[in-house]
Amino acid sequence: MISQISRLHSAVPIRRSQVVPLGTLLTRAYYNDPGVTYVLPDPDVRRSVLSWFFTSVALRASRLCGEIYTTANVDGGALWICPGANVTIGHVVKAEISSLPRQLDRSTLARWINVNTRLDSARHHLAGKPHWYLIALGTGPSTDTGLRRALMAPVLATADWDLRPCYVETFHEEDLSFYERCGFQIAGAGQIPKGGPSFWTLIRPPRPR
């Protein structure tokens, strides 16, 4: 039984047929994220825009310029941008903006730009050299940290082999201990200007074998 559960939770590269289910799962996982609720306070707008963001933007960016790992049953997913990638989330947003399911008002767009600008500035200042960027890590209702570690494991191993650091940001202070157990170190902290939430940035140095 243990080996069967382990196989079900083993991280595998995403297949085309898993893109929509993973987008749905990540929409639920990030629905109450403080950064998301700040940008999209209206629940109905948040649901539709977040679904669009993951399916059309984040998953697309990671498939083009990074790696995506999930499980056979799509119990969760880890979305990465690889070192030196020329395409950013902002580039993909601009390319896919015409497919946005609803018109966003100026205040929402201003908050979105506010968050992206602050996070991009922090990453470029703190990360420095080429790095793996974890743009999303989410699971289903379970808070199984073993599953989250398994989803990250393939890219962490690649980063160690290539001697590349990994970078992640979070709006959840309770996530810090989990990332630290995975080898990340707190690199900085800040707050989104104009009443936004607090956030933390973490870097995982490579572990040479």
Look at residue 7 and tell me if it is in a domain.
no
The predicted structure's pLDDT at residue 3: 40
pLDDT in tens, the chain (209 residues): 334 334 556 899 999 999 999 999 999 999 999 999 999 999 989 999 999 999 989 998 999 899 999 999 999 999 999 998 876 666 677 666 777 777 788 898 889 889 988 998 999 899 888 999 999 999 987 667 899 999 999 999 999 999 999 999 999 999 999 999 999 999 999 999 888 999 999 999 998 77
Look at residue 37 and tell me if it is in a domain.
yes
The predicted structure's pLDDT at residue 1: 33
Look at residue 140 and tell me if it is in a domain.
yes
Token readout for 143 is 């808070």
Look at residue 127 and tell me if it is in a domain.
yes
Look at residue 6 and tell me if it is in a domain.
no
Token readout for 177 is 């201990």
Tell me the C-alpha distance between 73 and 190, whole Å: 36
List CB contacts of 152: < 8 A, sequence separation 6 or more: 11, 69, 78, 134, 137, 182
Is 1 in a helix, a strand, or coil? coil
DSSP 20-68: HHHHHHHHHHTTT-HHHHHH--SHHHHHHHHHHIIIIIIHHHHHHHEEE
The predicted structure's pLDDT at residue 193: 87
- Residue 151 domain boundaries: 15-204
Q: What is the CATH number of the domain that holds 133?
A: 3.40.630.30
Look at residue 110 and tell me if it is in a domain.
yes
The predicted structure's pLDDT at residue 90: 67
The predicted structure's pLDDT at residue 175: 95
Residue type, 165: P
Is 139 in a helix, a strand, or coil? strand
Look at residue 10 and tell me if it is in a domain.
no
Look at residue 148 and tell me if it is in a domain.
yes
- Based on the structure, what is the number of domains in the chain? 1
Strand pairing category for 185-191 and 76-81: unpaired
